[in-house]
Amino acid sequence: MKSFFRVFVCAALAVLLSPLVCAQEEAGDRLFLEAREAFRVGNRPALEALIEPLSGHVLAPWLDYYRLRQGLEKQDEAAVLAFVERENGSYLGERLRIDWLGVLAKRADWRRLRAHYHKLIAPDQDARCLFLQARMAQKEAAAQSEAEALWTTLLDVPEGCQGLFARLGVEVSDDLYWQRARLLMERGRMEAVRRVLQFLPNTQQPDKKQFEQISKKPALWLSRLKAEDFGRGRSQREIAALVIARLAQSDPLAARSRLETWQARLGPRAAAWCWGQIALSGARRHMPEALAWFSRSSPDVRSRDVAEWHVRAALRAKNWYAVLAGIRAMPRELQEQPVWIYWQARAHKEVGHFALAYEQFQPLRGQANFYGNLADEELGQPIRIPPSAEPPSEAEMRAARAHPGLLRALTLLRLDLRTEGVREWNWAIRDMEDRQLLAAAHFAYERQFYDRAISAAERTREQHDYSLRFLAPFAREVRSAAREQSLDDAWVYGLMRQESRFILQAKSSSGASGLMQLMPATAKWVARQIGMKDYDRKRVNDTEVNLLLGTAYMRMVLESLHQHPVLASAAYNAGPGRARAWSADKPLEGAIYTETIPFNETRDYVKKVMSNAVYYSILFTGKSASLRERLGEVPARGG
């Protein structure tokens, strides 16, 4: 009786006190956001004033971080070291230690920088660059070659790498200097190319007006090029090669014509690189000449993109021997990626090397991804969902709910601080065992942070729960919208999972929003097409409105593209015109169409949407499903 009374009283108090607890939580959240803003604008007095009132808040360590990070160069070193030791093992402890490496690099305190670096748990690119800078300053033998390898491969230079790259810019050999310029030109990073060219002697680098012409009017620059210009030395030949590559990005045929005129003057290596750039641009345009242009290039001057698009051009032509040759010419680390393991095995199968194909499909067996799914089907095995692990025990759930990193992450996400929240979450789960990951996934699911639940669930190695990996929230609303538009709900969920990971307020950098990631103009157009009288752009993030407009748009693109889900998925991401243009003159295997989509983002997107749809279909129906059948054959352009 006493036990019952105690439970009754506790329950009554919880009901009475919950508004007070909520009010206190809201007040704390508001103060934290004020403190964060004070940090952002550099208002130190305001930040300091809020630290004590928030001492018991779950995000209090972030306030300590903000206080130390603000004007870090002037901070007392003892306070910084006390924080990183106190927070050792946490995301914030790691982050401040990396920040402190930057201060030590500015002080040229290489000994202490190295000591701190070795205490890091998972050094990021900034930290690795700072450590490499210290090693170079201390004349360590291997440091120069490691830095030069970074110089020729790293596209984006984070803040921690800028000092290293500034030093390398005046130290590297001519060959490496031009390698970097080519790397940046291939990706169209014209401002970065300009910065690299500034390392040339003043008499050899193009002035501002000339560089503007190189960037925006390469054909005009090349039309004014004369034979005697090549007498100025290597820099003129290299700049001419860069300009031909720039022209190839917009007009590969014109670039081919210019290259044929000047290739003897450029020299064999520069000319071979230019042929690779022309072939790359042609392959992305699905030009039949591209495969022949690749043959005039050379593997030793090919970038990763050129190597991969050589194989894609061969796939598009269904030239399986060329597929094999292209993959064999790739660097080893590329050959070992699932995509090229699969296509090498497929090529062997297509030319009759059945035993070798069977052997090469094996490493992909059972992998829960696009090429793992296709490999399973090639091996005659159905795509399976593994048995579901036991749900987390109450003890496992208590541990997850009390985990400081998980709590901070979900609190940051609740405050719509997604960048910080995702970093905290990813750090917290990075080394978790399967049982911990499953408990973390359940914890995120309880709090309705579905994207984090998925991120934890898909990291498990032995014990799995695919109902968490492939969550299906908002079931009533989604199935109703899919049924109204006569759509396969597995495909709808597969697309939505890739679009938003079920984040209601998701917003992309391009302005797409909501569960279905609708662009404002698209939402307005669809509303008009379906006769939505009360459309208001402010309602686009409302669950039912977003689902109605998104599924209506899926139906429209599906109907306009031969009822083919691969084409419609590509259209949802990149637009119907592009999806249609990427078709071939003849019917094309759906997997080849997908692999030869020119946009990296769209290619990856379509693969994941179609593989997602297979798993949702199995979960919804309890029956096996085929990715190969879903991919089917893409009709000929205009068919």
How does residue 225 score in pLDDT terms, banded at 50, 70 and 90? very high
pLDDT at 443 over 70: yes
- The distance from CA 79 to its chain's CA centroid, rounded to whole angstroms, is 36
Whether the Cβ atoms of residue 568 and residue 541 lie closer than 8 Å to each other: no
What does the mean pLDDT of the chain come to?
Answer: 94
pLDDT in tens, 466-491: 999 999 999 999 999 999 999 999 99
Whether the Cβ atoms of residue 274 and residue 255 lie closer than 8 Å to each other: yes
How does residue 424 score in pLDDT terms, banded at 50, 70 and 90? very high
Give the right CATH number for 394-469 from 1.10.10, 1.10.3470, 1.10.1240, 1.10.1060: 1.10.1240
Task: State residue 24's pLDDT score.
Answer: 67
pLDDT at 16 over 60: no
For the record, the structure tokens of 588 come out as 């094309």
Task: State residue 22's pLDDT score.
Answer: 62
pLDDT in tens, 261-297: 999 999 999 999 999 999 999 999 999 999 999 999 9
Backbone angles phi, psi at 464, to 5 degrees: -125, 160
Quick one: DSSP state of residue 539? G
| Listed range (287-296, 439-448, 506-515) with the worst mean pLDDT | 506-515
The secondary element (H helix, E strand) that includes residue 171 is none
Task: State residue 506's pLDDT score.
Answer: 84
513: β partners: 507, 518
42 against 231, higher pLDDT: 42
Q: Which CATH architecture has domain 475-634?
A: Orthogonal Bundle (1.10)
How does residue 125 score in pLDDT terms, banded at 50, 70 and 90? very high
Task: State residue 607's pLDDT score.
Answer: 98
Backbone angles phi, psi at 293, to 5 degrees: -65, -35
pLDDT at 7 over 60: no
Whether the Cβ atoms of residue 248 and residue 284 lie closer than 8 Å to each other: no
pLDDT at 6 over 50: no
For the record, the structure tokens of 517 come out as 């990631």
**Phi/psi zone of residue 597: left (φ > 0), alpha (ψ -120 to 50 degrees), beta?**
beta
Task: State residue 555's pLDDT score.
Answer: 98
| Listed range (192-206, 279-293, 443-457, 555-569) with the worst mean pLDDT | 192-206
What's the CA angle centered on 434, arms 429 and 440, to 5 degrees?
A: 45
Task: State residue 639's pLDDT score.
Answer: 67
Distance CA 297, CA 272 (A): 4
pLDDT at 164 over 70: yes
Mean pLDDT of 175-188: 94
Number of H helices and number of E strands within the chain?
Answer: 38, 2
Whether the Cβ atoms of residue 568 and residue 575 lie closer than 8 Å to each other: no
What are the extents of the domains in the chain?
Answer: 23-145, 173-302, 394-469, 475-634
Cα–Cα distances (Å) from 461 to 434, 457, 525, in that order, read 7, 10, 44
Mean pLDDT of 255-260: 97
How does residue 15 score in pLDDT terms, banded at 50, 70 and 90? very low
Task: State residue 415's pLDDT score.
Answer: 97
> Which of 431, 490, 487 lies closest to 456 in space, CA to CA?
431
How does residue 60 score in pLDDT terms, banded at 50, 70 and 90? very high
Task: State residue 505's pLDDT score.
Answer: 86
Task: State residue 635's pLDDT score.
Answer: 97
Mean pLDDT of 539-564: 96
Mean pLDDT of 301-327: 97
Backbone angles phi, psi at 352, to 5 degrees: 95, 10
Task: State residue 170's pLDDT score.
Answer: 83
Mean pLDDT of 437-444: 98
Quick one: DSSP state of residue 299? G
Residue recorded with tokens 């790691």: 94
Residues in Cβ contact with 588 at an 8 Å cutoff, skipping those fewer than 6 apart: 316, 633, 634, 636
| Listed range (240-254, 502-516, 572-586) with the worst mean pLDDT | 502-516
Task: State residue 357's pLDDT score.
Answer: 98
Question: DSSP H helical segments within 138-173, as ranges?
Answer: 143-151, 159-169
130: β partners: none
- Strand, coil or helix: what is 634? strand
Task: State residue 261's pLDDT score.
Answer: 95
Please state the pTM of the whole predicted model.
0.93
> Which of 131, 257, 242 lies closest to 196 in space, CA to CA?
242
